[in-house]
Amino acid sequence: MASGLGNGGLLLLFLLSLAGCAPPALSQKPAPKPLYADPVFDGAADPVVIYHQKEKKWLMFYTNRRATHAQAEGVTWVHGTRIGIAQSVDGGTTWTYRDTANINYRPHPGYTHWAPEVIEHQGLYHMYLTYVPGTFPDWKHPRHIVHLTSPDGFNWEYRSTLPLVTDKVIDASVYRLPNGTWRLWYNNERDGKSIYYVDSPDLFHWQDQGKALQARGEGPKVFRWKDQYWMILDAWKGLQVFRSEDLLTWQPQEERLLEEPGTGPEDQAMGGHPDVVVAGDRAFLFYFTHPGRAKAHPAPAHSVAAKRSVIQVTELVYHNGKLTCDRDQPVYITLPTGKSLSAKRLKR
């Protein structure tokens, strides 16, 4: 054929058009599966993806679970973690390991860093990090959300521990309201793992606002797309979607995302703890999954294979007021770069 696409290529373009996806440039490769696997402990989870203005690269911060940690007692392998950084120089298609974030907040032996939320505002990077004061074999111990800042996105200094309603909170998500106020949602583990929120005029001083929604879940991610506000929540049975017009009242969507396993390599278990990057009319959902927990062939409990986690990506589709995705479709990521971009403008 004159186009050089062949029947398979034409079929792909047709399927992408039906799904509401922009067709890729013919020279672009689809994102690999998995998108990223951590080379240190093979336990990448809880991703957050931002654009680094100075380096003109996309960075992925993630919880580096110690999946390959030998003789781990209980859930100690999920504790004692640090925050890993991967980078992409091709707009998000391929990712390579960069480093561990240099977080200068380690007041307890065996400290644990979880689930970073990272944004850039006026040239300064802010991280809202879940901090656990040790390495523990169970889930019974306190955890807090701390605020750190960095001029370069790699070296971080402690600013404060957020004054939240309990001493057992995790998983911050930050969004800037239309009036300029900042809002941070988090999981209150002492209230049935429901979602609470606080507001700030400046990212440094926070005021409690109470409960945001009753639903149980972790890793809330708030963003605006298709003229609606959305929250995607890890409900441990796929990702629960909520929609809002005012960032206060949230309407649940009946259908969950990534509840059913995919068919691609290391993508055959449900997805968890997401991030979303909105780039123009397109939105990309980054998530982690445990390949060894596939329904069809689960690995032995407590084995390294069962603990491993990798990062995957899919593209969101908006149709009739709902969000869907097809994790088995090839994903052609086109995250932009350039002087006019910042993570805040793209994601918020």
pLDDT digits (tens, 9 = 90+) for 175-199: 999 999 999 999 999 999 999 999 9
Question: What's the pLDDT tens digit per position in 98-145?
Answer: 999 999 999 999 999 999 999 999 999 999 999 999 999 999 999 999
Evaluate whether 105 touches 122 at the Cβ level (below 8 Å).
no
Domain ranges of the chain: 27-347
Q: Would you state the pLDDT for residue 72?
A: 82
Kindly report the pTM of this predicted structure: 0.91
Q: Would you state the pLDDT for residue 295?
A: 87
Helix spans in the chain (H) = 6-18, 304-307, 343-347
Q: Would you state the pLDDT for residue 338?
A: 62
Instruction: Tally the C-alpha atoms within 13 A of residue 243's C-alpha that lie toward its C-beta.
Output: 13
Long-range CB contacts for residues 18-22, cutoff 8 Å, separation at least 24: 19/315, 19/317, 19/326, 19/329, 20/317, 20/318, 20/319, 21/282, 21/315, 21/317, 21/329, 21/332, 22/281, 22/282, 22/332, 22/334
| DSSP letter, residue 166 | S
* AA identity, residue 147: H
Low-confidence ranges of the chain (pLDDT < 70): 1-27, 338-348
Instruction: Tally the C-alpha atoms within 13 A of residue 341's C-alpha that lie toward its C-beta.
Output: 21
Q: Which CATH class is domain 27-347?
A: mainly beta
Strand partners, 211: 196
Give dist(CA 325, CA 82) in Å, integer: 31
